Amino acid sequence: MTEYWFKYGVTEVFLDISDEVRVEKLSTLYPSLRYDYSVVSKILDEVAEGKSIAIIFDYASNREVGLLKSLIAEVEARGFEKNKLKLLTSSWRINSKILEEELGEVLKHYRGYIVYPWSEDKIEYSGVMVSRSIIDSQVRIYLSSILPHGVLGYPSIGDSLRLSGWVGNGLLKDNDYWLKLRDELNLMGICIVGDSVYSGYLYE
């Protein structure tokens, strides 16, 4: 058995992990991310002018902050109304206070549009409790990185939404409920996986 230390915000814990586990799966040391900004432009090609947009930003590392800023800049360049944009910001990996401090400066021009999962009510949607801002928005774009976690392995997008507090903590553990909710919400996404960026509808 090998002892690994993992850092969660300001807390460090250790776990004994079988030597059979491939160490590279636990590594977060990725090469510098390079991506074509057309992935940001392409996803907004699907958005009709005048629709309300919720960007569901799950903060996992600094790598996706650049993507978020690019997405916001593209929204502005296309003339979308600023008051129809909501930045649903969360991170289940770090302390909420740290999240607010780190992203508050980056998104200082949009502070009035930031929504945190602990700051609003959830309403029932297709049998699942979902945050009101997600339900009320006409377009929902999920943006994050798929990173390995020391305990959970590679969390799914459904796991991230549940752990961040955007959806109820119970029913989404049932994969059938997640698949139904994902399709009915018509979620779009921009996700960093390794050193690549993918965009499109979250059907796969």
Taking alpha carbons only, the member of 25, 41, 30, 56 closest to residue 192 is 30
- Compute the distance between CA of residue 33 and CA of residue 145 in angstroms, rounded to an integer: 11
> How much is the average pLDDT of 112-122?
90
> Under CATH, which number does the domain 27-201 receive?
3.40.50.11440
Average pLDDT over residues 144-154: 72
Give the pLDDT confidence score for residue 28 in this predicted structure: 39
Mind listing the pLDDT tens digit for each residue in 18-52?
444 433 433 334 445 555 567 777 778 878 778 89
Could you state, in order of their start, the residue ranges of all structural domains in the chain? 27-201
Q: Whole-prediction pTM value?
A: 0.76
Please tell me the predicted confidence (pLDDT) of residue 172.
53
- The answer to whether 177 and 129 have CB atoms below 8 angstroms apart is no
- Given the DSSP bridges, would you call strands 139-146 and 128-131 parallel, antiparallel or unpaired? unpaired
pLDDT in tens, 62-100: 778 888 888 888 888 888 888 889 999 998 888 888 888
- Would you state the torsion angle of the CA atoms of residues 159, 165, 168, 173, taken in this order, to the nearest 10 degrees? 20
Would the pLDDT of 148 be above 60? yes
